[in-house]
Amino acid sequence: MKRVLLVGNPNTGKSTLLNALTGAGARVGNFAGTTVSSMRARWNLPNHGDVELVDVPGTYSLAAHSPEERVAIRAIRATGEDAGDVVVVLLDATRLVRSSYLLLQVAELGRPIVAAVNFLDEARAQGRPVDLEAYAAVVRVPVVGIVARQGEGLDALAAAVRQILDDPEAAAAATPGPLHPWPDALKPDLDAVAAVLPEGMQTPADSAWAILSLDDAEAQLGPDLPGAEVRDVLEAARAAGRDPLGDVVAARYAWLDARLPAAFGARAQEGQFSERLDAWLLHPVWGLLIFAVVMCTLFAGLFSWSDPAIGLVEAGFGALGTWVGAGFDVLVARGLPVGLLGDFVVDGLIGGVGSVLVFLPQILLLFLFIAVLEDSGYLARAAHLMDRILRAAGLPGQAFVPMLSGFACAVPAIMATRTLPRARDRLVTMLVLPLTTCSARLPVYTLLVAALFPASIEGFPLPVRPLAMAGIYAFATITAVLAAIVLGRFVAPAHDPEVVLELVPYRIPSVRVVLGHAWRSGMHFVREAGGVILVATIVLWGLLTFPRVDDPSTLLTPDVVVAAEADGRSLDAVAASLVLEQTYGGRMGKLIEPAIEPLGYDWRMGVGILGSFAAREVFVATMGLVYGIGDDADEESEPLRVALRQSVVLRDENPVAVGMSLMVFFALAMQCTSTLAVLVKETRSYRWPAFVLGYMTVLAWVASFLTFQGMRLILG
């Protein structure tokens, strides 16, 4: 099957065009060896048959700095079975010079090109229509004008692609090669770079690509490319007073500016409405206030609007587990030995699948918000506003969406780092995102504050419990910022690049594209991370289940029964607590007790911490089991609060000191298997998730130790 590559800048309408050409049959997959996803679909060309249409990641350049750029140039330069037979370069009619820069680079690589000029309707509305014939004469490739969201020009685009696929002469005519000359002053540097490049990569276009790409230590396209040698050539040129990198970019834009006059719409200005809107949205005061409202709406949506759907998922799997469990109970009553199988199916398998799908509503909602913000043009404005603030922490302005959404859940937030332009920025953001106070920590904080903190302190004017809750959120936020500075400087250092944030035109988001983006992101999570989360959940279930006690009532000694009745606790709940103590998880809790005792915890809290690796909120239910309250206890359970406080008092520890230590530990520790699973998938390694687990565990232990021991000294 012939392959057609769809290439273009971000926000030029590639997804809309692919949907318009192929319908809803696109499938999503990652490019080999990367986490960069693409859409592929069969495109039925009239009088030709099916071809594969590949949506190459949006990029402004074919340098190799970001993963998208590396994927784009690999896809365009591919040979043999992986090669594209036609490259459709999608251009923005309102920004023809800017988007034509990419076309120049594709032409330099010697590929058959069809130029599809999109947004003709917007160019006409601005009074700057594009002269397609004049533009085609300049770029020397077939040019088709389209309006992808309205279907205008799609038949002409199909005819142009079909002619290249079927007619070798047409294909040769659509392969212009380099369109512009290189200035004489640059040629010595191009020759010097060509001399160190591998055989077969020694054309001026290859040298120009190497100058732009391999100047960055992060930008290696492959192990066989001599990045160090290229950088040596560039350093020598700079020492002689030349700037090869700037000269390459300047040569291309000088040719575009000279050949594409303003009448082509290349310098089209946005309308008065857009200018008035930008005056508000980019204002240093009002812009930040509007940004705060938009982000608070997004934050509230992730926190509150997804709750009904999350509740339905939890209720649905809870009902399914109850129904299946009842069926196994009937079989057990009839004498069949299926009790263990029933526990595995209900608590391990069904509970594990539920723990995967419970994230889906938040992920769908987050990527729906991101798609709307990006498609409307506001995301670029927000990144512009936040760039100066976040760059102080070593992160680009685009990192604000993942950082904010991390307060709802780190899993979709880590997936949202795909919007960041550089691999280094993605990595640093992913490394600090687990420190943001996700919603799963809230039940733990609620239990600890209510159980271990007094409502007020004599002589202290402020309410203690609300202050403790606000304080832990502020503490986690400050820690995340400091961690970003430290990690960005010492773990993943990089030069501070010149960043161009293009303010794309305001547009009404395409409902089909927005919903499709959200759905594909959600399914990608289920497919890529769901299996790892499921396995980890089943493993944790096993640790808290085995070895089994056939008859829990044998653990209820007379002394235990008397104590339970005196406290008003259910004997079944007490028996479950004693059974848990016998499991591998309970034994591990006792095993780690010497390590957590300096933090103010006993083995019971250790079991709760181990159980919280399934999900942080599981700490509450696990503590209900440990203290014999029952596994249905929640953060509002008064018996659990009383039991937790009494256990601390009986150890002669100060409840406030223990409570603050536990809250600091949960704020800083990596206790979420789902987050680790997504980190494995997004970083495509176990090294970085292991690093996150290690540094967060050490940080949590040290901070909790200092908190507990310090509070003991203060409170006496």
The pLDDT score that the predictor gives to residue 272 is 55
- The answer to whether residue 181 sits within a structural domain is no
* CA-to-CA separations, 495 to 215, 221, 418, 432, in angstroms, rounded: 11, 18, 20, 20
The pLDDT score that the predictor gives to residue 29 is 47
Is residue 91 within 8 Å of residue 139, measured between CB atoms? no
Q: Predicted confidence band at 33 (pLDDT cuts at 50, 70, 90)?
A: very low
Q: Predicted confidence band at 478 (pLDDT cuts at 50, 70, 90)?
A: confident
Is residue 58 within 8 Å of residue 12, measured between CB atoms? yes
- The answer to whether residue 436 sits within a structural domain is no
End-to-end CA distance of the chain: 77
- The answer to whether residue 517 sits within a structural domain is no
Are 382 and 241 in the same domain?
no
Q: What is the pLDDT of residues 197-237, one digit of tens each?
A: 887 777 888 888 888 876 554 444 555 566 778 888 888 88
Are 105 and 228 in the same domain?
no
Are 336 and 220 in the same domain?
no
The pLDDT score that the predictor gives to residue 321 is 85
Tokens linked to 279 = 């005056």
Tokens linked to 184 = 């004489």
Top-ranked range on mean pLDDT: pick from 325-329, 372-376, 439-443, 631-635: 325-329
The pLDDT score that the predictor gives to residue 688 is 92
Which domain-ending residue is among 149, 173, 197?
173
Which domain-ending residue is among 210, 230, 264?
264
Q: Rounded to 10 degrees, what is the CA torsion of 608, 614, 618, 623? A: -20
- The answer to whether residue 397 sits within a structural domain is yes
Sheet holding 143-145, edge to edge: 27-30, 37-45, 49-55, 3-8, 86-92, 113-118, 143-145
Element spanning 114, H or E:
strand 113-118
Residue 680, SS3 per DSSP:
helix
- The answer to whether residue 469 sits within a structural domain is yes
Q: What number of helices (H) and strands (E) belong to the chain?
A: 35, 7
Specify the pairing of strand 143-145 against strand 113-118: parallel
Q: Which residues contact 709 (CB under 8 A, 6 or more apart)?
A: 598
Beta pairing partners, 45: 49
The answer, yes or no, to whether residue 382 has pLDDT greater than 80, is: no
CA angle (408 as vertex; 657, 477 as ends), nearest 5: 50
Are 482 and 423 in the same domain?
no
Is residue 124 within 8 Å of residue 145, measured between CB atoms? no
Tokens linked to 485 = 């500075």
The pLDDT score that the predictor gives to residue 397 is 72
Are 33 and 166 in the same domain?
yes
Residue 706, SS3 per DSSP:
helix
Are 542 and 596 in the same domain?
yes
Tell the burial category of 427 from Cβ atoms under 10 Å away from its Cβ (0-12, 13-18, 19+).
Answer: buried
Are 403 and 350 in the same domain?
yes
- What ranges in 544-672 are assigned the alpha helix state H? 558-567, 571-582, 584-591, 593-596, 603-611, 618-626, 638-650, 655-668
- The answer to whether residue 103 sits within a structural domain is yes
- The answer to whether residue 523 sits within a structural domain is no
The answer, yes or no, to whether residue 362 has pLDDT greater than 60, is: yes
Is residue 92 within 8 Å of residue 268, measured between CB atoms? no
Q: Which residues contact 142 (CB under 8 A, 6 or more apart)?
A: 113, 114, 115, 136, 160, 163, 164, 174
Is residue 41 within 8 Å of residue 27, measured between CB atoms? yes
Q: Distance between CA 261 and CA 263 in Å, rounded?
A: 5
Are 392 and 333 in the same domain?
yes
Determine the distance from the C-alpha atom of residue 569 to the mean position of all C-alpha atoms in its chain, rounded to a whole number. 45
DSSP 143-195: EEE-BGGGTBTHHHHHHHHHHHHH-HHHHHHT-----SPPPTTTHHHHHHHHT
Q: What is the pLDDT of residues 51-64, one digit of tens each?
A: 999 888 888 888 76
Top-ranked range on mean pLDDT: pick from 278-287, 296-305, 669-678: 669-678
Are 94 and 201 in the same domain?
no
122 or 699, greater pLDDT: 699
Beta carbons within 10 angstroms of residue 563's beta carbon: 13
Are 576 and 661 in the same domain?
yes
The pLDDT score that the predictor gives to residue 159 is 93
Are 224 and 308 in the same domain?
no
Beta carbons within 10 angstroms of residue 160's beta carbon: 22
Per-position b or e across 428-463, b if 16+ CB within 10 A of its CB: bbbbbbbbbbbbbbbbbbbbbbbbbbeeeeeeeeee
Are 111 and 56 in the same domain?
yes
Q: What is the pLDDT of residues 512-559, one digit of tens each?
A: 767 776 776 677 667 655 665 567 667 767 887 788 877 777 777 888
Single out the residue of 465, 413, 456, 409 nearest to residue 635, CA to CA: 465
Q: Would you mind telling me the total number of residues written for the chain in this entry?
A: 716
Determine the distance from the C-alpha atom of residue 437 to the mean position of all C-alpha atoms in its chain, rounded to a whole number. 16
Per-position b or e across 338-357, b if 16+ CB within 10 A of its CB: beeebbbbbbbbbbbbbbbb
Tokens linked to 488 = 């960005």
Provide the domain count of the chain.
Answer: 4
Q: Distance between CA 666 and CA 469 in Å, rounded?
A: 13
The answer, yes or no, to whether residue 262 has pLDDT greater than 70, is: no
Is residue 529 within 8 Å of residue 675, measured between CB atoms? no
The pLDDT score that the predictor gives to residue 153 is 92
The answer, yes or no, to whether residue 309 has pLDDT greater than 60, is: yes
The pLDDT score that the predictor gives to residue 270 is 44
Output the domain CATH number for residue 110: 3.40.50.300
Q: Distance between CA 201 and CA 208 in Å, rounded?
A: 11
The pLDDT score that the predictor gives to residue 525 is 62
* Residues above pLDDT 70, as percent of the chain: 84
Q: Taking residues 649-656, report their average pLDDT.
A: 84
- The answer to whether residue 279 sits within a structural domain is no
Query: 476: left (phi > 0), else alpha (psi -120 to 50), else beta?
Result: alpha
Q: Distance between CA 12 and CA 682 in Å, rounded?
A: 26
Beta pairing partners, 53: 4, 41
Q: Which domain holds residue 233?
A: 187-264
Single out the residue of 663, 669, 651, 672 nearest to residue 707, CA to CA: 663
Tokens linked to 198 = 């591998």
Q: Residue 346 gets which letter from DSSP? A: I
Tokens linked to 309 = 């759907």
